Amino acid sequence: MSDNAILTYNGKSIELPVVEGAENEHGLDICKLRKETGLVTLDYGYLNTGSTRSAITYVDGEKGILRYRGYSIEDLAEKATFPETAWLLIYGELPTQQQLSRFRTLLTENALLHENLLHFFRQMPPSAHPMGILSSIVNAVGLFTPRFYDDENIADVFDLTTAGLISKIRTIAAFSYKASIGEPFVYPEAERSYCSNFLNMMFSSKARSYHPDPIMEKALNTLLIVHADHEQNCSTSTVRMVGSSHANLYASICAGICALWGPLHGGANQAVLETLLRIQQSGMTIEQVMEKAKDKNDPFRLSGFGHRVYKSYDPRAKVLKKLMYQVFEHEHFHDPLLDIALKLEEAALKDDYFIARKLYPNVDFYSGILYRAMGIPTNMLTVMFAIGRLPGWIAHWKEMHDDPNSKINRPRQIYTGHTARAWIDRDKR
């Protein structure tokens, strides 16, 4: 293969270097395109544009492969803890026992929020969406840690900030839920694991004891891991975009949370659950649902199938489907939404329309059902996504921050508005 591609325009030819990634993927380096030709590229949604080089996550949508720092999502989901995965993403290697012990200590020691922040939760409108509360409080947390703004380049300060964010985000999420239902806050406990602490803060109270089931801890741990990163998605790209201006980590993460809030991104898992509930309540047959989904003139949308990147079965969906069977068999309970989901998947995998368009179940298809089994309310599902995705956001912010070639992001455009016009006096309009 040639090391260069030739672009001919307006009688002039220029060479565009071909860059190669670690997994033999290739791309055109167009960094000098505008300078040498005056041209820019037009790429709606940046579907064909690489904005950076990254060593964090590899996705092969055709083969259904997802790896964090070279480790398969299947191995991590089965063998790793969420704190281990977070360390791997941020620092590039699996932690040693000493590193993991120190990281867990930092997570424990930094789980509490400044008491002044508790007023934020109490003054928020009862109808406020948890994602709005989450983004607001995360930004506010940064105001209570001013040292980071001055010393963010110091490794120890970054480590402390990273652990603080990963630990505090679950506290913020749990407190948001407690405030929405009018119950007292439950504080994190030092002896509990990351996942056990979150479940305890969510569901225990002075009026009732709560003992997190180990299978639910395992399920939560797995869910957080499969959501931890996914290359240059909308929210991660937003974190990089904002961080490219040298905005601090808190501001950048806050922007990522807001991007994730969108129904086409993090809100998809909630949409799946709402779709399954709608099917159940309507009494539609699976055949009727499939026909409505294929009818372009029908406003009905079957959420949870297809993915912008994956053109085969989403590997994260495979992990969650296996986990789902383990959870439901262990707990000996039944959810009619699961039956609907399984029948829909079976029908889709045999349907020519879905097969031709490579519409396979994605990660959102089963995640909502699993969170429902835990007792997580529907409006908290995107928040759960954010808790899992936080390590990936931090990893990308750090990678961009440490890259000497990083520049402030400034996309170009093709202008389609009016050409130069003369001013019209007010009395003549």
**What CA–CA distance (Å, rounded) separates 156 from 153?**
9
364 a catalytic residue: yes
10 Å CB burial of residue 294 (0-12, 13-18, 19+) is middle
**CB neighbours (10 Å) of residue 160?**
18
Active-site option among 229, 314, 364, 396? 364
| Residue of 416, 235, 388 whose CA lies nearest to 316 | 388
Beta bridge partners of residue 19, listed in sequence order: 27
The first and second tokens of residue 379, run together, are 């409006």
Active-site option among 227, 229, 230, 307? 307
265 a catalytic residue: no
> What are the catalytic residues?
307, 364
